[in-house]
Structure 1
């Protein structure tokens, strides 16, 4: 009898990473491109629901004093800095500077105290100052939300873990164009690189963190 996939992975990869003491929220590539039906990157309901969840988590982070960092894909009008990524995935020209599809999604205007990281490749860490910025700030945990689960979220998750951060992926606050890749990548990230939690669990953690910090003052 074939072993159940969940049982197999639990036996091999069942350990939890847990939470850190100094988290930061990273919101990956919530761009208008994923919400414009005329754009090839349109993500539909999965991306709509992810943004709604991420905005609630962002509000809680701001309430309890957890730093918020947004990422954007920003390409030169020539497309030269898109390199092999743009060569392979032509719809990424939606992120050429100045195009409406490159702007942040409606409802996600960066606040003055929120850092915006511009990138040209899938990971929020590759070729950016994100890792050194988090390290200098004493951050030990990255809470990941964003688009898309199978693309830039997964790449950022692997690099977050590789840079030494406890990594927590919020399933409700990540989106993709199809539930298949979304669920498969959440499954794999949870097995090997991060803890995948839902919105309720991360909000409860943030509330508990606020209580702990208040008691320490």
Structure 2
């Protein structure tokens, strides 16, 4: 990314919002499809999953609510509408397909919220916004796949629903660095603060000292 572009954006977009007081961690679509070399969605994003799992562990230690999202379709994709019609690889998420399962290493816990969705955003057509609002959450911390797709869509909708939004760069991934970096850049400019794994872990660990609980 050229220095001229960075300096140009700083003229208009150079604001950091910071974290909220009551965060929730969202792991977007860490599905086996992205880790199976035989699947057309394979992205080689093991590092992103490893980062998200480390953050998730700290979130549980500190009492930060954790949400897992999954994409799931009926056989034939009837409930996927135009998205399923356009994006043929979404067949990997038909219920019952091995590629639709959570990625190896990500086993849902009883105290985690699971959101099933058919469209890119974790918020569109789901109860996520209402659930987080009822829990008193003011800060959505996003990790997941893919940066240019469902993470970006969830980021825009999170901000639009009134949540302070944080995207963890290390814990997001895409099939190529170009869309990954471009979308992190744009989300950081307009919709969210993009932070590192170390920053969000330090934030989560500060919550108990400062407030006694994250919820």
Coarse TM-score class (shorter-chain normalised): over 0.9
Distance change (3 Å), C-alpha of 1:211 and 1:93? same
Match of 1:71 among 69, 72, 77: 69
Question: How far off is 1:214 after superposition?
Answer: 3.0
Give TM-score, length-normalised by structure 1: 0.96
- Corresponding position: 1:166 with 2:164: yes
- Distance in 1 between the 2:26 and 2:212 partners? 24
- Distance in 2 between the 1:8 and 1:56 partners? 35
Question: How far off is 1:78 after superposition?
Answer: 2.5
Match of 1:96 among 94, 97, 111: 94
Give TM-score, length-normalised by structure 2: 0.97
Question: How far off is 1:207 after superposition?
Answer: 1.2
Q: Which residue pairs with 1:180 in the alignment? A: 178
Q: Which residue pairs with 1:8 in the alignment? A: 8
- Distance in 1 between the 2:91 and 2:179 partners? 22
- Distance in 2 between the 1:142 and 1:152 partners? 14
- Distance in 2 between the 1:30 and 1:93 partners? 16
Q: Which residue pairs with 1:37 in the alignment? A: 37
User: Which piece of structure 1 moves more, 203-212 or 176-185?
Assistant: 203-212
- Corresponding position: 1:210 with 2:204: no
1:141-172: CA deviations, max 9, x gaps? 00000000000000000000000000000000
Question: Structure 2: 5+ residue runs without aligned partners?
Answer: none
Question: Structure 1: 5+ residue runs without aligned partners?
Answer: none
Distance change (3 Å), C-alpha of 1:3 and 1:30? closer
- Distance in 1 between the 2:115 and 2:156 partners? 18
- Distance in 1 between the 2:118 and 2:56 partners? 24
- Distance in 1 between the 2:169 and 2:116 partners? 23
- Distance in 1 between the 2:16 and 2:187 partners? 12
- Distance in 2 between the 1:131 and 1:178 partners? 30
Question: How far off is 1:3 after superposition?
Answer: 7.9
SS at match of 2:41: coil
SS at match of 1:4: helix
